[in-house]
Structure 1
Amino acid sequence: MRGAAPPELIRFADPRGGERYPEFQFPEGCGSPYEVVIQVNRLLLADIDPWGAAAWWLSGNTWLGGTPAALLGRLPDRELVGAATALVEGD
């Protein structure tokens, strides 16, 4: 990733130095993250719990009918945000 990454992105310390960002956060061939990833990661507090946020994106979700990361660009963004909101609000 070039430039300063938004604080809402999931990031992990790289043992060789620097940070690593899971690829699902970015459209293929694009250096900018999906806007919906920023919205959902903000809800999931990815800046505080990146592992928890990554688990949400990479685990099956019965409400969405699949893995949220695999549904990026295939489902309307509002559905991904709604599923994350339901989790956070306990619905």
Structure 2
Amino acid sequence: MPMTASLTRRDDALVFSGALDRAAVVALWPQASAQRAGVARFDLTAVTRVDSAGLAMLAELADGLPGARVEGRPDGLDELRAAYRLQDDLSFAA
């Protein structure tokens, strides 16, 4: 059975776990957007995979948070980042 996605705020980090897919984004978006202020890190070390909806959520959360870091490299993240021309901090490449 797949791991249910979850989100917690730990200091300056939003800590995600499970698969960040379309279903997870629908469930996690309200909580994630409400906790976005002051975030400097997105901890994805417990994330199993990311799809395009998950990447879109992360990029939207990172927008306006200069220098925010992404920790962890779940399946799908690097491939989707490259396809959408996003840098390591999820901002658009120039």
Band of TM-score, shorter chain = under 0.3
- Structure that is richer in strand per residue: 2
Greater CA radius of gyration, 1 or 2? 1
Question: What's the TM-score once normalised by structure 2's chain length?
Answer: 0.22
TM value normalised by structure 1: 0.22
